[in-house]
Amino acid sequence: MILPALRCPPLILSLSKGHKSAVFAFLSFFLSLLVVFTSPASADEAALRAIIAKFAAAQNFKATEAVVQELAATSDPAVERPLAALAEGDLYFRKSDSAVFIGKEAGQAIKLADPLTSAEAGEEPKAAVTKIKVNNALRRSIRDALGGLTLGSPDANARIAAADTMFKTPVAANVEALDAAIAKETIGSVKLKLEQARASSVLVSDLPEDEKLAAIDVIAGIGSRDALSLLTGYETGAEGALKDAASAAVASMNSTLALWASAQNVWYGLSLGSVLLLAAIGLAITFGVMGVINMAHGEMVMLGAYTTFIVQNIIRTSFPGLFDWSLAIALPLAFLVSGAVGLAIERGIIRFLYGRPLETLLATWGVSLILQQAVRSIFGPTNREVGNPSWMSGAFDIGELSVTWNRLWILAFSLAVFFLLLFVMKRTSWGLQMRAVTANRRMASSMGIRTPWVDALTFALGSGIAGIAGVALSQIDNVSPNLGQGYIIDSFMVVVFGGVGNLWGTLVGAFSLGVLNKFLEPYAGAVLGKILVLVLIILFIQKRPRGLFALKGRAVEA
């Protein structure tokens, strides 16, 4: 629970991946607009061209904006192309005849295209054309203008996007256009968006008070952060009944949003908990069931992560089509690699130290140093790149909750591993033997169970599970030789907190520590929150030295 929070970068990275895809969607949406809207015949193409030509004469941003407004006022879908090009900074005019074109840089030259039809219009050297300059204010008004234009788009998604844009940047003038669009709209969800956009526009218009009150109701019903900031902004300037209504709406929205924020915290906490569970679950076997203190447990996780790296490397170079399967291929391999190393450690070192827990701790710490240095010597000390398969990239929203796919998969995966392990322990004969050996070794041995093998395989199982945890953690953490070190203290804390020898305790321990951590963070900051959790656990161990779900009895107290 300590490092995952310190290592915010992976989380930030995955969030920014989400943003990237949003930007990408936005762009592709515009591109599709361009494709869709080439055909409708213009009412008066010549008139449009005349207005477009004015861009060449505009001396400053203000003048350019006036031209933009004039184009927007035509309500002709054809003006989208030149406006979009202008926003992108791709609109030029030729110095020789002031003709306006859409230009694309091609080396030293600019390829020109007709602003309305995008038919090719030859090439000019850079020096022969002038770019029509835009600034952010201008881009905004272009965006607004485009939003207004797309209200009439036949594509429902385009209409929704337009309505959203209008909602965020309300202009009184939009009310009319929106009324018209609402009257025409047949799809319920789009109509709702349009009405919301209308409501935000109504607020800034000079329509009568009861209209505005209704608008406040509509906006309050949305409940999003955008709606809140809109109403908060409105509240400061409003008066009388309007101000009261806005204040009430803001207050109720705030409490709803606080609920969402808590839900987001719970989600982050569960996500952190799943990471802790993955890291600790192998330890719950080796430490919890066998009583072996394996300080090299973190390195087993690291080996799993490096196995993923190697698998992805081979796939990248030899079978690029299999990339989405890389994790599925890495899972069994990581289990085998870490399990084999675990087996070797048990047979080579640990079995000589049974009954001497503190010496086991020291010897396995030595092993962890050796494994770290070995990986450092082979792969270098720096982070290695492990990619996310496509099905683990991106994010989606539930209400005001943003959920990234990789975190969701890891949560599901950690639970799957947990229940699989529970099944192995409780329902298979191997699990029965394991439990028999830990309950009464001599008895188990005399019943014909080969206890040394059960020991070795149990340890290998715990290590192998650490390996597959490494596969999952490679998706959200830096794959470096130090990967494991960060998890070792956390894992022990989870197992000790949950109660040694109790798998359910590990589950509850991991998730409660994860959630606790994420709820402390906003108040104390990430590092201090971490420290607080550590201190709380230390205090908790004082109170219940054997964890949340400890066994009681004479034997335990002896």
Partner 1 sequence: MSKSGTILYLDGVSVAFDGFRAINKLSLVLDRGEMRAIIGPNGAGKTTMMDIVTGKTRPDEGEVFFDGQVDLTRHDEAEIAMMGIGRKFQKPTVFDSHTVEDNLVLSLNGPRSIFPALFHRRSAEEARRIDDILGVTRLGDKRGALAANLSHGQKQWLEIGMLLAQDPKLLLVDEPVAGMTDAETEETARLLKDINQTHSIIVVEHDMHFVRELGVKVTCLHEGAVLSEGTLDFVSSDERVMEVYLGR
Partner 2 sequence: MISGKFFAAGSDRRIFVAIVLLVAAAIVVPVLNVAVPAGSAFHVPPYMVALVGKYLCYALLALSLDLVWGYCGILSLGHGAFFALGGYAMGMYLMRQIGSRGVYGNPDLPDFMVFLNWKELPWFWYGFDQFWFAALMVMLVPGLLALVFGWFAFRSRVTGVYLSIITQAMTYALLLAFFRNDMGFGGNNGLTDFKDILGFNVQANATRSALFAASAIALALGVFVTWLIVSSKFGKLLIAVRNAESRTRFLGWRAENVKLFAFTVSAVMAGIAGALYVPQVGIINPGEFDPGNSIEVVVWTAVGGRGTIVGPIIGALLVNAGKSWFTGALPELWLFALGGLFVAVTLFLPKGIVGLWDQWRDARAQRQVSVAAEAGTDIDPTPPKIGRAQSGAPTGEWAKPSGGPEPQPAE
- Work out whether 215 is an interface residue with partner 2 (CB under 8 A): no
Cα–Cα distance, 483 to 193 (Å, whole number): 47
Nearest approach in angstroms of CB 315 to partner 1 is: 51
Name which of residues 41 to 80 contact partner 2 (CB under 8 A): none
534 makes contact, choosing from partner 2, partner 1, none, with CB < 5 to 8 Å by partner type, with partner 2
The 499-538 contact track toward partner 1, x by CB under 8 A, reads: ----------------------------------------
DSSP state of 133: P
- Work out whether 438 is an interface residue with partner 2 (CB under 8 A): yes
553 makes contact, choosing from partner 2, partner 1, none, with CB < 5 to 8 Å by partner type, with partner 1
- Contact assessment for residue 218 and residue 199, using Cβ atoms and an 8 Å cutoff: yes
- Work out whether 442 is an interface residue with partner 1 (CB under 8 A): no
Nearest approach in angstroms of CB 326 to partner 1 is: 46
Candidate list 53, 343, 534, 548; residue touching partner 2; CB under 8 A: 534
- Contact assessment for residue 159 and residue 165, using Cβ atoms and an 8 Å cutoff: no
Tell me, by CB under 8 A, how many residues bind partner 2.
60
Nearest approach in angstroms of CB 558 to partner 1 is: 9
- Contact assessment for residue 481 and residue 372, using Cβ atoms and an 8 Å cutoff: yes
- Work out whether 340 is an interface residue with partner 2 (CB under 8 A): no
DSSP state of 325: G
552 makes contact, choosing from partner 2, partner 1, none, with CB < 5 to 8 Å by partner type, with partner 1
- Tallying the residues shown for the chain, one arrives at 558
Nearest approach in angstroms of CB 553 to partner 1 is: 4
Query: In this complex, which beta carbon is closest to partner 2, that of residue 118 or of residue 485?
Result: 485
Name which of residues 288 to 307 contact partner 2 (CB under 8 A): 288-293
- Work out whether 208 is an interface residue with partner 1 (CB under 8 A): no
- Contact assessment for residue 175 and residue 163, using Cβ atoms and an 8 Å cutoff: no
DSSP assignment of 25-59, as one string? Answer: HHHHHHHHHHHHTTSSPPS-HHHHHHHHHHHHH--
Token digits for 136?
A: 């952010």
58 makes contact, choosing from partner 2, partner 1, none, with CB < 5 to 8 Å by partner type, with none
Query: In this complex, which beta carbon is closest to partner 1, that of residue 164 or of residue 359?
Result: 359
- Contact assessment for residue 132 and residue 62, using Cβ atoms and an 8 Å cutoff: no
- Work out whether 111 is an interface residue with partner 2 (CB under 8 A): no
- Work out whether 494 is an interface residue with partner 2 (CB under 8 A): no
The 501-520 contact track toward partner 2, x by CB under 8 A, reads: x-------------------
Q: How many CB atoms lie within 10 A of CB 523?
A: 9
Q: How many CB atoms lie within 10 A of CB 412?
A: 11
- Alpha helices, H only, 207-296: 209-222, 225-237, 240-283
Segment 107-110 long-range contacts (CB within 8 Å, at least 24 positions apart)? none
Query: In this complex, which beta carbon is closest to partner 2, that of residue 260 or of residue 365?
Result: 365
Three-class DSSP category at 18:
helix
Cα–Cα distance, 467 to 339 (Å, whole number): 7
Query: In this complex, which beta carbon is closest to partner 1, that of residue 378 or of residue 555?
Result: 555
Part of the chain binding partner 2 (CB under 8 A), chosen from 7-15, 181-189, 202-210, 345-353: 345-353
Block residue for tokens 């290590």 = 463
The 538-557 contact track toward partner 1, x by CB under 8 A, reads: -------------xxxx--x
- Work out whether 373 is an interface residue with partner 2 (CB under 8 A): yes
- Work out whether 239 is an interface residue with partner 1 (CB under 8 A): no
Q: Which residues contact 432 (CB under 8 A, 6 or more apart)?
A: none
- Contact assessment for residue 433 and residue 297, using Cβ atoms and an 8 Å cutoff: no
Token digits for 193?
A: 């968006």
Query: In this complex, which beta carbon is closest to partner 2, that of residue 66 or of residue 369?
Result: 369
- Alpha helices, H only, 356-484: 357-379, 405-427, 429-439, 441-446, 451-473
Three-class DSSP category at 395:
strand
User: Which positions touch partner 1 (CB under 8 A)?
Assistant: 551-554, 557
User: Which positions touch partner 2 (CB under 8 A)?
Assistant: 2, 6, 287-293, 349, 351-363, 365-370, 372-374, 376-377, 438, 441-442, 451, 455, 489, 492-493, 496, 500-501, 527-528, 530-531, 534-535, 537-539, 541-543, 545-546, 556
